[in-house]
Each structure stands twice: as C-alpha cells, then as structure tokens.
Structure 1
C-alpha cells in the first residue's frame, strides 16, 4: 500500500478519550522519539499507547527545522552521496570520542537507515537531501563537506483532519503564502544580495501558491515531521493521550510494569519507552546539574520539557549521563523569546567579543562549540556571558536578521529590553555595552585586516566547509569575512541558549535503561533527550538530535517486540 493510500482514511479516525488499563507498550512523549517508537511497536503487533503531558503533540521536534543526521540512509544514497558504513563509523568515533560506548555508536549507525526506511513505508513522510549542508567537522576523517543531513518533504496537513489543530507550533512561523524548507533559509538570508536568493524566494512563493490552489495546508520542517508521524499513528490505531502527564513509573519486583497518570495507572505488559524530552524548562534541575549562569528563559525547547521522565527514571534507579550539557547555541534574549543564531554570526561583517571587547572564538564554528567556549572561559580574566555580536550598517543593509529584512529598522522592543544596542561610533557602542573602548576598536581594526586578506589568523573563520555554509559566496576573498566600517554599529547580547538539554538516563545499545552498576532496569527504555545523547558532548551534523532520537525509539520498540 502506498503512503498516500495508507493515509486516505487516517484523518477520520477518532481520537480516543481515555487510556485502557493495560497495553503491551506505554510510550511517554509524543515527540519524534516517542512517536517513532510507538509506530514501530504498533507495526510489530504490540498494543501501544502514547501519553503526552502537553495539550499538543510534536514536542520540540515540531518547533524545529527537522534536520535529520543519519549516515547511509536511502535518501542520501539515492541522491548520489558517497557515504559508507566505514566512513560514518570513523567520523562519529572522532566526533564523539570516548564519552559514548562504541556499541551505542554502532547501534545508531546500523539501525538509523532501517528506521528511516521503516518510517517512509509506514507514514506519509518523505525526505529531501540537504545538499551542501556540511557535516559539522567535515575535515575530520570520514567527514563529508557536502553533508549527510536530510529534512522532511512538504506534507499536506489536511491528512490529519481535526487533529492538525493539536500540532505544536513552529519556533518561527513560515512567512505567509510561502512553503519554506530548512535548506532554503540560507538563501533567503541572502535574497537582497544574491541572485540565487531571489530564485529560492520565488520558488518558496510558487510552492505556497500551488499548495493554496490545490486546497492544501502545506507543512515543512518540524511541522511536517510531527504531522507525518502522527498520521502514521492514526492509521495504525495508536491512541495519543494529550494533557496526560507522567506522575511516576510503576516498579514491581525491580521491573517497570507501567506508569502512573492523574487518571490512574496504565499497565505495560512488555515495557515503557520514555521519550519525554529533556529538562530545559526545569529550573531546579538546571541549577543542580549545569553551570551558571543558567535558567529556563534562554531555551527554545518545548515548554512541557521539564524532565519528568528523567526524574522518574532516576527514582527507579537509573544512572544519568551528560546532565551538564545541552544542544547549545549562541542566542539573543529577545523580549518575546530567545533567538537561536545560525547564519547571523557566520555572515561576513560581524564579530563576537567577550566582556573585554576581544574576540575569543571562531564565530562560524558549530553552535554548541561556541557556547562550550563561553562557559569554559567565563570569568577567567573576562566575562564571556553575555558575549556581544557586533555588526555594522553594511551588514544590516545586506542580510536578513531573524525575520527583519535588510534596510528595515530593528524593533524598538529589542533596544528597550537590552537585547540590542546601536551607536554611531565603535567607541560609543563600547560604552553602551560596558566593554573597553580601545579594546573593541583594536579588535575590529584587526578583524578588518583579516577581511582584506581573507585569512583569519586568530580563529581561522572560513577555513572549514562548515563555516562557509551560511556565508555570503559573493564576498571575496573569504565569504565569511568582511570589514565593519559603516555607521551606525550594532551590538546584540549573546547568551548560552539551547535547543534542549542532552543529558538523561543512561542506556545501552538496545535503548534499555541502566543502573549505575551497569545492570538493566527490566521493562524501561529511553530515547531522545530523556536519554544521554549518543553524540556525547559534541554534534556530528544538522539533525544530530532528531536522527538518534528517532533511531533509538525504533530500537527500543523492536527490542520489546523481539522479547517474546
């Protein structure tokens, strides 16, 4: 049966009002990990229910760009990507180092392609290769400058019927009338200065127009991913119970046998799979496990992610890993919500400085690395939190910034809140943000010299293919470097934001939760940000969160199905 035929009647399936008393598998969380696990369990013949705390499904995945990093999957191989299992294993081992057992790395690399193929066979989801979106460390052995990441293809939200209203919203809505892929944003940022930017903008508008004429509700990125997985669950008859928080795990004789919810216990004959996300919105857990300054106001993770599944697992005896870490990214604390910076710090004509007005990192480096440096160096001779992204008017004249088009003024609320500052000289700007004037002037003068020669002698910005992905290809000699010279000048406050936390329950290669002594807690599995990340303290490429989350949800469900 084709994906379209499979979904033809899915929108008519009624959502169940309440949980039955017992299932083979109980899945906690209706994000990418949980829905993939539930779909797998159901297709393996297990009665399955998904319990979701929020009033919506999709979690952080629905809010995301939905890049998915899975080497050797059928989508990239069909696109001509010259990947091999040996290349992927070599690269992942170099990226992760010794923080994650080799067996878990191998389990991810082995099961990931099978998971993706399974999802495409059992849901309306299809995927596109993100051509050119480099691995984050492409110069390492096995790294790929052209990338391995994929993203969901366009999906018609009408397949969900009324259930579409319960889809968690995107982090930043797509411009009205346009259908935009994650890979398009690179070019939309450059639309004012690059012919391909205009071409991509026109393509996005054409897609939107065509979808409207067909009467569709077009979804891309995380909206497509979450909706497609939910459609698969509807077709498979898997109930998703919203507004149903996990209160605790039921443990009997050392085995997890179900969960406790406000409406009572739900038993699990085979086991419980926790895919409830991280703890980014739990201030107490962040204060307990993570470095200061930290809080809950700088994250863009789903609001329901308060670590409930992790805490329940810990009470049941689970060991925890990587709780000090997150999927970090330099972010601007805007008054409505934090803004996670990608292209903005890589485009030519900007520098990132510490509280002494001095550069301290390659601005175009992988976003998690930049925040690690901020924390590692904060207070060691200079404050690095907040840091400051400095740009000039030439930069503002050329590039989209968040959703503010070139030449247009930035919102007054940004300046009123202290997220942004503006001045007519570098020295005046330094005074406004409290950094030494001579130091900031010296930093910019030195950087401007690098821009002229095209070589960043201090931090090598632009040397890596990853640096150049979000750069301006028409700028020469280095697409990442341009001088700051045109007044007025702007400063944006940069704090350690995140896409979510990456620490959680310790798991093995079969996604089973482990105690501190290495023994398995029978009946308990974890995937996604409720488990310690297979990426360790690093980040292999775009989609290193969602790819492993879906994969280990798939692994967990198959392990339960195999235990007959």
Structure 2
C-alpha cells in the first residue's frame, strides 16, 4: 500500500470511498467539501479507474452549454426520453434532478472545463424528448498541476492525448497533427477521461481527502447489519458515516461473466482490476444485485502491444466503421448491421442477428484502399507502413480467404452494398438515415449519403473485431439517495454504491454519449451530500 502525502492513515474516517473513478471522486469531494474526513482506497497503483481511460464524455440534459448555444431543453423532456429508452424510477429521477447541481458544484470546486457538444445528437434522436447537445466533453488538463502525484493519475497510454472535441474537428486519423500531439503528451498534458478525472483528483487533494493506492479492500466491516468500515489485508479502517463502493464492474472476472452475461466479454478497454470485488462484498451482506446481465458493449480490435497494467486491452473502433467505404460482415460474408449506429446498439444488433442465424458471433470489417488513405485505420496513417495486423489482398477473394470467409458471398455482399452507396440509400440496414449516423459521417464524401461510399478500389483490407465492452453495468441496487438495498428492499445502513459496481440506472439502454459517466458522477454527488448530512447542494456550496 502506498499512501499519498502522509506517513500513515488514520484508523477512522467519516467516509471511506472504495475506488477512484469519477463517481467515487465526486462523492469524496462532495463529502470533504462539507467538512467530512474522507479516505479513498484504490486497488491499483493509479488514480482514475475506468473513467480515466474513457472518452471522458458525460451526458447531462439541460446543461448550461445547451442554453448558451441556443438549444432548448428541460428535465421533463429528458425524463420522457429516458422513459422511452431505459424506463423510469427513482434513481433515474435522482440523476435528472441533480445532474446540473453536480455540474455547478464541480465548476465551483474544481478547474474542470466541460464543453457541450452542440452538434452531438442523442443516440435515439427522434424519440420524444431527445435533443442535441447533452453530451459534454472535457478540454485538456495539465497533469503537472498535481505536482509529485502527476504520474499517479491514470491515462490511456496507448493513445496520444487529443480531446474528443479535437477528434471531431479533425475528422479522420489522416488529419491529426501527430507531432504536436506527441509533444503535448510528452509534457504531461492529458485529455479525454484523464482530463475529466485529473481536476477532480486535484480538488480532492486540496480539500484534504486522503488517498492510498495498491490498497485492495478485502471485506466490508458490519455490525448488526450496519456497515462500519472496511477491512484491508492487514488492518481495518472505520467509517463512522459510511462506505461508498465505487470500484467498477466485473468484466475481468471470467466466472462472473459466465454466470451473468449473455456472452463472455472477450476483450475490454478498462483496467484489469475490475473483478467484481464490490459485488462480492455487497452480496455477503444480502444486498440485491440488479441488471447483472447488462454491459456497456462496443466493437473493439486487439492491436498488438496495447496493454493496461500488463493485460491486453481492446481499442474501440468508431470512425473505422462509420466513415464511408467500409462494411461489417459476419462469418458467412454477409452484412448484419448498420455499421454507423452507436456502439452499444451495434453489438446488441449483431448478437441478435447471429442468434437468428444460429451461428457464433464473429464480425469483420472490410474496406478498400481509398478508405484507408482517406481516413486511416487506428494506428495507421496515410503513407505509413501497413501494420501486420491488417489483412490485405489484391482482390476481395484474397482478403476473404485470409479471413476465412466465403469469397463468393463476400463479393456478392460488396456488390450489393456498392449499389446502395451509388444511390445513397442503404436498403438493408438504413445506414446514414439517422441524425446520429450523419453526425458520424463525412460531409465531404462525394457520394449522395455521407455514410456510404463503394468498396471498390484495391488493394482491399480486412480484420476481425470483437464484441468488447467498456465495463459491466449491473450491480448493487440503490435508492434515490445512493444507499444500498437488501434483497427485501430495506436499506443497508452505512453502504452506498455508484458507477459500474451499482445497478446503473441507464444500463438497459444507451441514450447518449456519456451515459455511463454522467449518472455515475451525479449519483456520486448525491451520495456525498447524503454522507455530508444534507439533501441540498446549497448546503455544500454547489447550487446556483
């Protein structure tokens, strides 16, 4: 165990937070800002959890950036939209009612800068209550502001430090200022998830929150059904107010995945410490676990050499499947999905299609040379040497044979798709019809549909990708105040849960970009106010 800035920890705190993702840190900062003594215990050697290696986007309806940008939104519209996509309930209501309180609190207490992506649509735009602009992105953050703890902040070491705002502005890998990004990264400027977590971590340190890394919690300490603290390997630490579980999902636990998920997650991009520890500890106290069959699904590829803490991780493919000139096929060589839809829906649609065919789910991207040179592909940029993990062939037949696909079927699929591209209408899967698809397309594409272009100019390329996940999405059931619930519906005094260790309120759908982090941070704020002994943001200085 490594303690940050102190010789030893106290034996007693008002609040102990298990895990250091964005939700847990917001809970810690909220409680500390109200005068509570707070300890954050992190299992790994770095602060930030899955949040720090994410895109860092948070979904906040009726945010002030929308107002400034002239987009009319209100909480009741968002409530109607969520009723259509994920259902309702008191935890959904708690998120909606307090999301902007959380935002105001962070703006007052931290240096976090968030920008509303005004052109970014909800994933199901067209449903009642949907809007543009609810996704908010962090700008970059200089990790040198953390002083000696700069390197304790987790970041995605497999990518250079560009923000998602810049990603949209530059349009494709071919347009990225790689030299500038290398220089930025070398200086310690971080982006995306690390830029979200960094300012909150800094504010926690300034507020007197204690931190220990390499500090896995073994058990919850309870007396007469009340959680009183936590047990580490060699000591117990009391929590007079309560314990907040914020220690992630179970996507790195094969046994739990086999028991709960519709299919195992073969690849993920989260740190390998998310092994369901919080679920296990809570279950021992008869806590109810809900939505355990849910995950935040996304298409991912395995790029050789890309690891997190020594474990192979996946790379989310986004523009590599959404830009015009690429298709996705299954093991029969046929298209099975709209390639441009949101990542969670894509995997769910592909799984449904494979079950309908009675075959295992396998997916391949196939594209041509024009696509590769115009958009790049993951680590490849135009003019580079082609990496060995991309299959290439002078013809579609060669690519099919290398990938183990039926060449005749693949050729027929491409011929049909090319006719759609020329006409501008995808008759099979309606790619390019929705506002979300169009947001992800190429407005400079010379073909009628910004998401469609023929796959026709050799050489041709392909590779298999996998049904990955950002994390699992089910766990500890809570009430609207973040308190854990037993199987009989009663509250477990002294126990709270936020983020992927909890039964996430948006887990049954994916309403928009940032649907994981927005509620996690908001409900962390709600739990923090509860632990601070108050119900309102005004009492801890967050309300405007």
Distance 1:80 1:330 in 2: 34
Given that 1:322 and 1:504 are in contact with CA atoms closer than 8 Å, whether structure 2 keeps it comes out as yes
Distance 1:171 1:60 in 2: 13
Distance 1:463 1:277 in 2: 36
Instruction: Specify the alignment match of 1:221 in structure 2.
Output: 192
Out of 231-240 and 501-510, give the one that drifted further: 501-510
Distance 2:155 2:173 in 1: 26
Aligned residues: 525
Distance 2:32 2:316 in 1: 36
Which of residues 92, 112, 123 is equivalent to 2:110?
123
Distance 1:506 1:399 in 2: 43
Which of residues 429, 446, 465 is equivalent to 1:494?
465
What SS is found at the alignment partner of 1:562?
Answer: coil
Which of residues 185, 189, 192 is equivalent to 2:167?
185
Instruction: Specify the alignment match of 1:348 in structure 2.
Output: 324
Distance 1:207 1:499 in 2: 25
Which of residues 42, 46, 49 is equivalent to 2:39?
49
TM-score where L is the length of structure 2: 0.92
Distance 1:510 1:521 in 2: 12
What SS is found at the alignment partner of 2:357?
Answer: coil
Given that 1:398 and 1:407 are in contact with CA atoms closer than 8 Å, whether structure 2 keeps it comes out as no
Instruction: Specify the alignment match of 1:448 in structure 2.
Output: 418
Q: How does 1:156-167 map to 2 (within 5 A)?
A: 156-167=142-153
Given that 1:186 and 1:343 are in contact with CA atoms closer than 8 Å, whether structure 2 keeps it comes out as no
- 1:410 offset after TM fit, Å? 2.8
Instruction: Specify the alignment match of 2:363 in structure 1.
Output: 387
Taking a change above 3 Å as real, the CA distance of residues 541 and 168 of structure 1, as seen in their structure-2 partners, is same
TM-score where L is the length of structure 1: 0.89
Provide Cα deviations, 1:56-98, integer angstroms capped at 9, x if missing partner.
Answer: 101111111101111122333233332111221111111113x
Distance 1:357 1:249 in 2: 51
Q: How does 1:268-279 map to 2 (within 5 A)?
A: 268-279=239-250
Q: How does 1:278-317 map to 2 (within 5 A)?
A: 278-292=249-263, 294-295=264-265, 298-317=267-286
What SS is found at the alignment partner of 2:433?
Answer: coil
Given that 1:30 and 1:240 are in contact with CA atoms closer than 8 Å, whether structure 2 keeps it comes out as no
Given that 2:155 and 2:193 are in contact with CA atoms closer than 8 Å, whether structure 1 keeps it comes out as no
Out of 420-429 and 531-540, give the one that drifted further: 420-429
Distance 2:376 2:38 in 1: 45
Distance 2:409 2:327 in 1: 13
Given that 2:228 and 2:238 are in contact with CA atoms closer than 8 Å, whether structure 1 keeps it comes out as yes
Distance 1:379 1:427 in 2: 27
Taking a change above 3 Å as real, the CA distance of residues 383 and 188 of structure 1, as seen in their structure-2 partners, is farther
Which of residues 277, 293, 300 is equivalent to 1:324?
293
Given that 2:121 and 2:133 are in contact with CA atoms closer than 8 Å, whether structure 1 keeps it comes out as yes
What SS is found at the alignment partner of 1:267?
Answer: strand
Distance 1:309 1:207 in 2: 37
Q: How does 1:77-96 map to 2 (within 5 A)?
A: 77-96=67-86
What SS is found at the alignment partner of 1:109?
Answer: helix
What SS is found at the alignment partner of 2:29?
Answer: helix
- 1:136 offset after TM fit, Å? 0.9
Taking a change above 3 Å as real, the CA distance of residues 223 and 31 of structure 1, as seen in their structure-2 partners, is same
1:529 equivalenced with 2:529 (yes/no):
no
Taking a change above 3 Å as real, the CA distance of residues 80 and 218 of structure 1, as seen in their structure-2 partners, is farther
What SS is found at the alignment partner of 2:338?
Answer: coil
Instruction: Specify the alignment match of 1:417 in structure 2.
Output: none
- 1:449 offset after TM fit, Å? 0.6
Instruction: Specify the alignment match of 1:512 in structure 2.
Output: 483
Distance 1:534 1:355 in 2: 35
Distance 1:263 1:172 in 2: 35
1:64 equivalenced with 2:54 (yes/no):
yes
Q: CA RMSD in A?
A: 2.2
Provide Cα deviations, 1:165-224, integer angstroms capped at 9, x if missing partner.
Answer: 11112153326xxxx2212213434365xxxx5xxx56x977998x89xx9742322121
Taking a change above 3 Å as real, the CA distance of residues 400 and 185 of structure 1, as seen in their structure-2 partners, is farther
What SS is found at the alignment partner of 1:232?
Answer: helix
Q: How does 1:342-381 map to 2 (within 5 A)?
A: 342-381=318-357
Distance 1:109 1:171 in 2: 33
Given that 1:504 and 1:531 are in contact with CA atoms closer than 8 Å, whether structure 2 keeps it comes out as yes
- 1:14 offset after TM fit, Å? 6.4
- 1:407 offset after TM fit, Å? 4.1
Taking a change above 3 Å as real, the CA distance of residues 305 and 366 of structure 1, as seen in their structure-2 partners, is same
Instruction: Specify the alignment match of 1:401 in structure 2.
Output: 377
Which of residues 30, 35, 39 is equivalent to 2:20?
30
- 1:338 offset after TM fit, Å? 1.7
What SS is found at the alignment partner of 2:320?
Answer: helix
Instruction: Specify the alignment match of 2:433 in structure 1.
Output: 463
What SS is found at the alignment partner of 1:516?
Answer: coil
Distance 1:277 1:250 in 2: 20
